[in-house]
Structure 1
Amino acid sequence: MEKEAKEKRDELLDSLSKGLALLQLFASEGASLTIQDVAEKLDVTRAAARRLLHTLLHHGYVVQEGKAFWVTPKVIELGYAYFAAMDLPTLSRNPMRILAEQLNETCSLAVLDSSSIVLIAREEPKQMVRLDMTVGRRMPAYAHSLGRALLAFLDTERWEAYLANTELKKLTQFTICTRSGLERKLAQVRAENYSLLISEMVDGLAGLSVPLRERDGRVIASLGVSMVLGSRTEKQIIKQCLPALRETAGRIEALLHAMRK
């Protein structure tokens, strides 16, 4: 047992452990800390304490005023997205199943992770045509309706960070992959509160999505239906699918908000 425990300890990343310990220290102290405070409380050298604090400072998790360091609200982001979304797949299952059967289309739920969306839930009707959209799949946010329903509500800082870390590729002849073109589309999504894409990620496929919001209005996920386009027009897709999609989103939000009370 001792040998096994030692092997596990050897696999730990010491710098990460100390960084987590520093965040816990801020949480327990509830006030500012100096380099000397950190060195004493974490039992590390002043040089190590300085490196830890300046690493958090570089990434925006603390600010410095003179010798004192203060934690910033950005720390909340480390856990908020996970805890905000963790109930969604369970809460959404029945409403999504009903929507998939009602529209006879694949219904998906996604969150934003870096440059991609990640599918966290999926329901499909009993039909022969199945779309390749398994839970856990990652797709480029800029070229998917689920992604645009999330990107449209990023603040300026997060939008700039997204652009800086994303290569906008032309996936089909219809893909909008310029900053100016995307920003016009995202402004439209904000105004209309839905996102419709046709043949931008895969030629012949369409997607219609809406944002899902927390009690405070924060967009935490997107809900959408995906379909083979066939002979349908944009107006037909919106007329056939948007009312039911919005109703389902409202039902899921109500369930989520009830859980947050």
Structure 2
Amino acid sequence: MSKEDELSLVERLREKDHTNAMREVMIRSPLAHSRANELTTSDNATSLKHPKGTVPALANSLMVISYLNSKAPDAQTLAEISSTLHLTKSHCHSILRTLVYFEWLAFDDRNKTYKLLPSAISDLSSLFTSPLLETVRVCLSDFVDQLDLPCVLAQPLTDGSFVVIDTFRCRRYIDAFYTVGHRFPHNASAHMRALIAWSGKERIQKHLAEWKPKKYTDFTPMTRKQIEDELVATRKRGYALSIDELSDNLTAIAMPIFDRNGEVVYIASCSFLSREHDFNYQEISAKLRKAIDHIHLQSVATVPAEFRIVR
């Protein structure tokens, strides 16, 4: 969808308030890829070998789950799954039957397709019910209620990307949002800055040494000097700000949430259309900072001294 089409859609929605037209704009930003996606789309995918020490059957099962998750809500056939993941049909069929038996997958006998079941989440429920996460949810829900602005909670992953683990919707007419499971790339401007800005000089230098520029828009920072300047600005203002850097006409404000060890465990962010001029950065950041300060207080988090400074 072009920038002009997106704006005209927003205008049409506002003009047709009396209809049942869609009330949300799904944000289409660049995606990071899961390990399964990276493995299966590599040049050597046809001769894929798992690292030494891994259990091939388990590794292949996890790749099947990751693949089906990436295709949701569309169901997939045995042929589609086995050919994409370069598994033999017999081996792939055994994996699928096992996952169906444990009710992680549903099999449609008529269409001969497989899809993930919500019951899979129940076996991973501890990931969604930690005391810290519950505190985060309460505080961010209150923040959204106060400003009527959607908020997204993402978790940093070991590959440098960020996965959305919860969303907090608002009543605002045009609700720009990401879905749970969306993965921001490692160089997503706001999230990257929120992650490393307060991590100390050594970590920052290590991150920058491994950083590779990728142009998403005409406003994407492409030099190390630009990134360093933005990190300084992030610490000075107390939050990460990205304007049209990851997606055209999209502004994002992000802040880190620390745990008891002083590590960034989550990134809270708000995104909105850049052409919406009624958003007040100072008000949004102040309210979000208040919510995050309360999270840190309730969870007895270890917060870097520079981040604790009241702006």
The alignment's TM-score, normalised by the length of structure 1, stands at: 0.59
Q: Give 5+ residue unaligned stretches, structure 2.
A: 1-49, 56-125, 302-311
In structure 1, how many angstroms separate the alpha carbons of the residues matched to 2:130 and 2:222?
Answer: 31
RMSD: 3.1
Task: Please state if 1:15 is matched with 2:58.
Answer: no
Q: Give 5+ residue unaligned stretches, structure 1.
A: 1-11, 18-81
Where 1:102 maps in the other structure, the secondary structure is helix
How far off its partner does 1:182 sit? 0.6
Q: Using a 3 Å threshold, how does the CA distance of structure 1 residues 98 and 15 change in structure 2: closer, same or farther?
A: same
Aligned length: 180
Report the counterpart of residue 143 of structure 1 in structure 2. Answer: 188
In structure 1, how many angstroms separate the alpha carbons of the residues matched to 2:276 and 2:176?
Answer: 18
Among candidates 281, 292, 300, match of residue 238 of structure 1: 281
Report the counterpart of residue 122 of structure 1 in structure 2. Answer: 167
Report the counterpart of residue 34 of structure 1 in structure 2. Answer: none
How far off its partner does 1:14 sit? 7.8
Amino acid paired to 1:242 = S
Report the counterpart of residue 249 of structure 2 in structure 1. Answer: 204
Higher helix share: 1
For residues 206-260 of structure 1, the C-alpha deviation after alignment (integer angstroms, 9 at most, x for no partner) is 1112222234544332222111222428xx63222111111111122222228xx
In structure 2, how many angstroms separate the alpha carbons of the residues matched to 1:238 and 1:98?
Answer: 18
How far off its partner does 1:141 sit? 3.9
Alignment of 1:66-215 (within 5 A): 86-113=130-157, 114-155=159-200, 158-159=203-204, 162-163=207-208, 166-215=211-260
In structure 2, how many angstroms separate the alpha carbons of the residues matched to 1:251 and 1:238?
Answer: 20
In structure 1, how many angstroms separate the alpha carbons of the residues matched to 2:234 and 2:220?
Answer: 16
How far off its partner does 1:115 sit? 2.6
Report the counterpart of residue 21 of structure 1 in structure 2. Answer: none
Q: Using a 3 Å threshold, how does the CA distance of structure 1 residues 132 and 97 change in structure 2: closer, same or farther?
A: same
Report the counterpart of residue 255 of structure 1 in structure 2. Answer: 298
Where 1:131 maps in the other structure, the secondary structure is strand
How far off its partner does 1:130 sit? 3.0
How far off its partner does 1:146 sit? 2.8
How far off its partner does 1:87 sit? 4.2
In structure 2, how many angstroms separate the alpha carbons of the residues matched to 1:172 and 1:193?
Answer: 25
In structure 2, how many angstroms separate the alpha carbons of the residues matched to 1:176 and 1:149?
Answer: 15
Task: Please state if 1:219 is matched with 2:270.
Answer: no
Q: Using a 3 Å threshold, how does the CA distance of structure 1 residues 206 and 13 change in structure 2: closer, same or farther?
A: closer
Report the counterpart of residue 100 of structure 2 in structure 1. Answer: none
For residues 132-180 of structure 1, the C-alpha deviation after alignment (integer angstroms, 9 at most, x for no partner) is 4112211124333233111213345544554465532111111113212
